[in-house]
Amino acid sequence: MKKKVFITGIDSFTGVHLATYLEKFNYEVCGSSYTHRKNKDSYLCDISDKNQIKNILKKVKPDFVIHLAGISMTNLENRENYYNINTLGAINILDSLIELNQNPQKIILASSAVVYGNQKNQKLKEKFCPQPINHYGVSKYAMEVMAKNYFDKLNIIISRPFNYSGIGQKDNFLITKIIKHYKEKKKIIELGNIKVKREFNDILFVCEVYRRFLETKKKSEVVNICSNRAIKLLDIIDIMDKIAGYKIKIEINPQFVRKNEIKKLTGCPDKLHLMIGKIKQKKFKETLREIYES
């Protein structure tokens, strides 16, 4: 029989790609959405309402749970929503599973590398003390702290994804913002420090990590989803100039430049590799081309 995976936020950028990816590996995939039902295997759900998520889990009885739903914007006016959804929403799921006497083979809770905040180190490791600098980061870290209290009751892995991109990502993310300028043939783009190096990965790399998390025997872990692949923002512009066939003018906006910004910032994948092995991924210029041509 197919193993059933329940994905919260199944209609999100990551959720759409992950559902398609897991189905190729013979998983039965269903999930929840805050806004609309995609098909009979998706459910409308506000995860801040415990009764809603509990009723769905009671019906679905999943073998695996991947919790992606949440607020990813960092400038939300209603700050309480960060905690009601990102923190308490995850705890509602865990409490519901316990109350229903369900113990899935694996529960993956998506946190974020944003929890690290401003660190002096260039290569971020799970053992570093988180120092989140906004409500989004704090709400994700609060979720992690609360979820650790369930490690002795449920099979949980907490993931900290670093930057990743792919077809279908919203334009308010850096990579898709840059590509949108080229699609619209804009002559000028405003950026911050273009000489910094940051980690950027492909969405299918992230999907494969999640698939391997489902199959590993490891649990009660907090782990980066990263590759330590540092890419200079200026190099991304150079690649896009070639893909689009014209050279865009860069203007540095002082509002986008941070004081004492770290020149290179990536995640350390050592723990990830020990858990699930190394994963090859396509070159990032291929990811850029796919998004541009989509």
> Percentage of the chain with pLDDT > 90?
84
Average pLDDT over residues 205-234: 97
Count CB neighbours of 286 within 10 A.
11
The pLDDT assigned to 39 comes to 67
The pLDDT assigned to 261 comes to 72
| Average predicted confidence (pLDDT) for the chain | 94
Please tell me the CATH superfamily of domain 4-165+200-228+265-281, with its number. NAD(P)-binding Rossmann-like Domain (3.40.50.720)
Average pLDDT over residues 268-294: 97
The pLDDT assigned to 168 comes to 97
The whole-angstrom distance between residue 239's C-alpha and the CA centroid of its chain comes to 24
pLDDT tens, residue by residue, 47-78: 999 999 999 999 999 999 999 999 887 677 78
The pLDDT assigned to 69 comes to 96
